[in-house]
Amino acid sequence: MRWLRTQRVPLIALLVTAVAAAGVHVWLDVLSSSEAVSPAIVEVERQGEIAGQTIAVDSTRWDEFDAPAGSRTVSVLLDATGGKDATTCGAFTLAEVDGTRVWLDARAELDVPSDAGERSCLEESLSYDIFVVFLVPDDAVGPFHLDIPDRDNRVARFSVEP
């Protein structure tokens, strides 16, 4: 009994820590996975409505920028209408149509001029260009899916082929 009295502060701290850890586990792992909803994929041809604006693929090019050995770049120029309902969008991804590999925009890692276009969707703007550059391995040949997510859990999927 004496040991219990002398160790009561560390035991209470241990109990509080265990309850907090269990709460964090339930909050992050159990509740978030039960509420997670897959985004709705909206297949679009050359232009589509996403993030409150019309976005259209203008051009897609191979090797527009220097890439490290064993890789190459895929550049995609998009036209966006902007407007008062325009919102920001999520991270652009490029994925193989017939594969499992997915790439994020690598523009920040490459020597891409800042005036080439915006990096993502703009909120409440005039018409503008979006310019994204992906760094892919040499064996990636396309065609690809360019996915652009918005705030409403939708993803506009463009088919692109450099």
The answer to whether the beta carbons of residues 160 and 44 sit under 8 Å apart is no
75 with 104, same domain?
yes
81 with 29, same domain?
no
24 with 90, same domain?
no
71 with 146, same domain?
yes
53 with 24, same domain?
no
31 with 47, same domain?
no
Q: Please tell me whether the overall predicted TM-score, pTM, comes out greater than 0.85 for this model.
A: no
145 with 88, same domain?
yes
83 with 133, same domain?
yes
pLDDT reading at 7 higher than 70: yes
Range of the domain at 124: 40-160
15 with 50, same domain?
no
- 25-45 confidence digits (pLDDT tens): 767 776 655 556 788 888 998
16 with 51, same domain?
no
99 with 149, same domain?
yes
Q: Quick one: average pLDDT of 48-75?
A: 94
The β-bridge relationship of strands 40-44 and 154-160 is: parallel
Place of tokens 């088919």: 159
- 100-143 confidence digits (pLDDT tens): 999 999 998 998 998 999 999 999 889 999 999 999 999 999 89
7 with 72, same domain?
no
CATH number at residue 52: 2.60.40.1240
Could you give the number of structural domains in the chain? Answer: 2
